[in-house]
């Protein structure tokens, strides 16, 4: 099976490596070709253009910044026009559900199948092959995709086109809000004179336990905010959630509050750090180093 990966960034690179290790023939493309060349040493073919990359593909995976970029690559750079009929496009980017539905409809005009299958787990999950994959689209296409998903993580079919992106928005709402809760709680403990690391240790295993407390809480203790999942991406996802809530006439006041907090963090110089750097914004507001 020939698999093309469009977008060789923080997530696309380890995903491409795992596909090669699983025996797939992989073709890579990235707007900045130097990033795609990192997969060449793992046996991937590197294409100069997105259209060249997909000509012989059976499956195309997109892992791009946002829905507008996905649309530009698929329909503005000649990709859709050169895909073989029956090709399966799996968009693993995080975009708006409405955009995913629109892309699926347009690709169907070219007799090309589509799944929206965003992921959760960050670069750690991508490297380990433990990503949570949330797929929307036809059940038959999901079954076709299972061999490709297998080396990447655990895939769940959650509904029709756009449902995968809805699941990802739900995930990102929970992650983004929980990062804020853990940050604020640990900072409060520190302000009162408690050992923040020991507080985190004490509450682990109780009802406050979470993957965020485990992983991001440790980053907060160590003040390690090197980018694994960018704060700007978290902000984008919160905004996508609010846009989708508006389309559905749904009130999301908690998400709105955290969109404001992440936006403030970006404005104060934390945009290119990990999303756990919301901790730094809350520390800044409290005059804490």
Active site residues: 168
With 0-12 CB in 10 A as exposed, 13-18 as middle and 19+ as buried, what is 54? buried
Contact 231, 272 (CB under 8 A): yes
DSSP state of 46: E
Q: Compute the distance between CA of residue 29 and CA of residue 8 in angstroms, rounded to an integer.
A: 7
The Cα angle at residue 192 between residues 190 and 194, in degrees rounded to 5 = 55
Contact 16, 8 (CB under 8 A): yes
Beta strands in the chain (DSSP E): 2-6, 25-29, 45-46, 59-62, 88-91, 113-116, 119-120, 131-136, 153-159
Contact 230, 272 (CB under 8 A): yes
Beta strands in 181-220 (DSSP E): none
Q: Which residues contact 133 (CB under 8 A, 6 or more apart)?
A: 92, 117, 118, 119, 149, 152, 153, 154, 155, 156
């Amino acid at each position: 099976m020939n698999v093309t990966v469009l977008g060789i960034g923080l997530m696309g690179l380890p995903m491409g490596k795992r596909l090669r290790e699983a025996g797939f023939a992989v073709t890579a493309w990235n707007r900045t070709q130097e990033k795609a060349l990192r997969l060449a040493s793992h046996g991937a073919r590197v294409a100069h253009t997105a259209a060249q990359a997909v000509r012989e593909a059976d499956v195309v995976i997109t892992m791009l910044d946002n829905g507008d970029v996905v649309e530009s690559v698929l329909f503005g750079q000649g990709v859709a026009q050169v895909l073989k009929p029956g090709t399966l496009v799996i968009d693993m980017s995080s975009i708006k559900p409405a955009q995913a539905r629109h892309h699926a409809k347009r690709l169907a005009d070219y007799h090309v199948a589509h799944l929206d299958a965003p992921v959760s787990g960050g670069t750690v999950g991508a490297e380990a092959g433990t990503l949570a994959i949330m797929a929307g689209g036809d059940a038959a296409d999901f079954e076709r995709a299972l061999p490709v998903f297998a080396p990447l993580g655990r895939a769940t079919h959650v509904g029709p086109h756009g449902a995968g992106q809805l699941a990802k928005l739900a995930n990102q709402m929970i992650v983004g809000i929980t990062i804020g809760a853990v940050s604020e709680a640990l900072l409060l403990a520190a302000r009162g004179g408690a050992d923040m690391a020991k507080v985190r240790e004490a509450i682990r295993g109780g009802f406050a336990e979470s993957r965020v407390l485990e992983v991001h809480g440790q980053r907060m203790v160590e003040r390690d905010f090197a980018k694994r999942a960018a704060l700007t991406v978290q902000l984008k996802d919160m905004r996508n959630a609010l846009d989708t809530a508006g389309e559905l006439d749904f009130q999301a006041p908690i998400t709105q509050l955290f969109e404001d907090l992440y936006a403030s963090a970006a404005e104060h110089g934390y945009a290119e750090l990990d999303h756990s750097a919301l901790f730094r914004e809350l520390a800044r507001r409290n005059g804490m180093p």
